[in-house]
Structure 1
């Protein structure tokens, strides 16, 4: 960050906000008015005092160079992460040069940084000790527990096979009258069998009969994929090692990032959150400039709280990543980070729309349950596809140098990101990163044809 003299943009800062209200409130605090004693250090720390409703100002400190992503601390009572004060301080720092001068951190900020460093060192020591204990403590007990869980999953998979057979024997038409209750009951049985991956897919089946025209086809497709996953588990001993690990992951068994560390300069391609009533999941896509690898970082937060790991689009940093096991799996774990994230104009190499579809097809051979695959499209133009039969116009990304196109995922049509993409293009070719799947292409980030910064479409 400060070591290289490069500052973030306001968009990159606001991308960290957990919700729209926080973005609005943080924007109001991105000026010098409410702040006093603001400063920054060469090590990547920013601090300041923000006037609030009480007599004492809120103490806000941010560690931008933290090895696990940005870290925040504020004395305000907000439960949002980051809070509006942290966003405002980052916006202030990202503004004009000199607004947040270099200096020595006050005692309260130094104590927080020192505490983080001590806890990180303690975690590293504990992790090393635990790994040694796990390998030599009670391997026989661990083996027995794994066998018992495998037996429960096998029983659950066999029961699910019978329920799928009953559904098809009775006809798909009956699924609409049966309602969601039967699927929730089946999902609960899969939870009892310790197969959360199967439970999640069963719950998705329950929503299909009420999803609009064409639902029987979609239900049959998902039942076939669920049947394939069941059979993959029941016959896992016959599968190649990589595919067997993928089946284990899809079933819901925990995996480990035991692949060899890959050190590279990683570009942040996209970051977006999905949430349910229990968990917020953050997906961060990275691209290695030297390895030409695309990797996925997953981070989790309790319901209503943003995950701690935050890497806004358009940043790059040098770090080690270790891949998770499984054929075609792109998930990785972030290891040692050698440089803080800094803005960059670098963009990933792109492909044509036929090449993107081909890459998704190749990925399906390794992981048949893959919904989409990350890919960057080069020189495409967003345009309506001319179909006026629907309520909303359908859009596509057309090759600027050819006559082929990829449809944009219907779920993205109503999002503001689609209009940002159209405005960025203005009829000219753009570079677009996103996820290519059987429903179409979901655009996540775009770059203009000429020089310009990445624009998040999430």
Structure 2
């Protein structure tokens, strides 16, 4: 994380916190008072002793040069990662006031750092030595065929259920309640098509959801019908679109694209939850290729995903694309430099160009809710009961999504703008634009909005 003496900002540290309580508690530990024997190796390791309620201080050590984001070790009993002590130590280190001096790591920190890095090297060596062809390819082929048959049966059944719904009229969907959709979703799970099951559950939340719900339900039913037909006729689709259909249905995709080495800027990071699973989305921008890519990581049972890359950092690494259409998903490969703060910004487009990009993305993936876009010189302005991003040099604007309007980040964006143009990165889709990160006009750091 340290390159030529540059360290993280406090905002980048607090972006790692698993929840608001941890941010608050970590902020209280970001001063020198509770800390002793704090140190910085200058090569990506920070450590210190934090006074707690017991007789012995907590031993905290952080590997900030880990390829998947910071790794933490603390002797406190907390199950949160990072814990408040790790956040406090990073805030202390980010202060750049000499409180965390350079020096050799103590034995307790050195042992953990060496052990971790040794295990990482062994894991990389195993991955290099392993062959994707190990195992019985014939058995794998038979398993894939059996699953495809189950999905085909499920898609055929789903087509019949959609036909029955439309023949009976959409009003019966409101009368039947959510149980009808949940039972249908369970049938898709039995058919080993989790993607179909997820879309069916989304249908169940539309009836009686407000004015215009029949139109929204009909639109979503049409998209689900299109996905069904795509699966049933996948053999006649172009390779890229067929891969998108397989991914949307729920078949696992592989990161089989050629590695692409670039200097990657972290554009945004945010979490979403579905049941017990937390999904973390990290948007990256390749400064050399001009490509925007998506990293996904997951955390279960209340644990935050391990991969963490705060907004405003940049690093050199290889990324490999997953098969499929417009998702932009990639896998993180070898990392050549640790993440470090940067003032680089992605180039922006107008609101008209943003909607055109979403239209182009739909050609590869008709089920895509949104695509990543950076808007240049836009001003957040009220629009009736909602908000929009208006071109500073034109007469057009993009409405913000209801989700964006409800977030506290909207007011951060309005405050950053103050009526002046700003650069905004976010997701542009059929519901509007969701801002995720913004930069002020002229020099200034990236400001996370989510």
> Matches of 2:271 and 2:195 in 1, distance apart?
19
Residue 398 (structure 2) pairs with residue 406 (structure 1): yes
Contact 1:380 1:398 in 2 (8 A): yes
CA change 1:215–1:254 in 2 (3 A) is: same
2:387 corresponds in structure 1 to 395
Counterpart residue number, 1:26: 26
- Deviation, 1:124, is 2.2
* TM-score computed with the length of structure 2 as normaliser: 0.98
| 1:308 lines up with 2:300 in the alignment | no
- Cα displacement (A) at 1:312: 0.6
- 1:303-356 Cα shifts (integer Å, max 9, x gaps): 311111100111111111111111223000011111111111110000000000
Find the counterpart in structure 1 of residue 352 from structure 2: 354
Aligned 8 A contact 2:348 2:376 in 1: yes
In structure 2, stretches of 5+ residues that fail to align are none
Is 1:86 the counterpart of 2:86 in the alignment? yes
5 Å matches for 1:63-74? 63-74=63-74
Residue in structure 2 matching 1:199, options 197, 200, 209 = 197
User: Separation in 2 of the partners of 1:136 and 1:311?
Assistant: 33
**How far is 1:136 from its partner?**
4.3
- 2-side partners of 1:107 and 1:97: how far apart? 25
Report the equivalent of 1:260: 258
Q: Distance in 2 between matches of 1:383 and 1:100?
A: 44
Pairwise CA distance, 1:74: 1.0
1:119 equivalent to 2:119? Answer yes
SS at match of 2:272: strand
In the other structure, the counterpart of 1:335 is: 333
Distance 1:50 1:228 in 2: 58
How many Å separate the matches in 1 of 2:135 and 2:417? 59
Q: Please point out which of 429, 444, 447 is paired with 2:439.
A: 447
- Partner Cα distance (1:313, 1:107) in 2: 33
Determine the structure 1 residue equivalent to 2:102. Answer: 102
Q: Give the alignment's Cα RMSD to 1 decimal.
A: 1.0
Q: How does 1:252-291 map to 2 (within 5 A)?
A: 252-291=250-289
- Find the counterpart in structure 1 of residue 140 from structure 2: 142
Residues 1:216 and 2:214 are matched in the alignment? yes
Partner Cα distance (1:323, 1:408) in 2: 29
Question: How far apart in 2 are the matches of 1:3 and 1:403?
Answer: 43
Superposition TM-score, scaled by structure 1 size: 0.97
Q: Secondary structure of 1:72's partner?
A: strand
* Separation of aligned partners in 2, 1:71 and 1:87: 12
* Kept in 2: contact 1:277–1:303 (CA 8 A): no
SS in 2 for 1:350: coil
- In 1: Cα distance, 2:274 partner to 2:331 partner: 23
Q: Does the 8 Å contact 1:382/1:427 carry over to 2?
A: yes
CA distance, structure 2, for counterparts of residue 195 and residue 203 of structure 1 = 13
Structure 2: how far apart are the matches of 1:198 and 1:136? 31
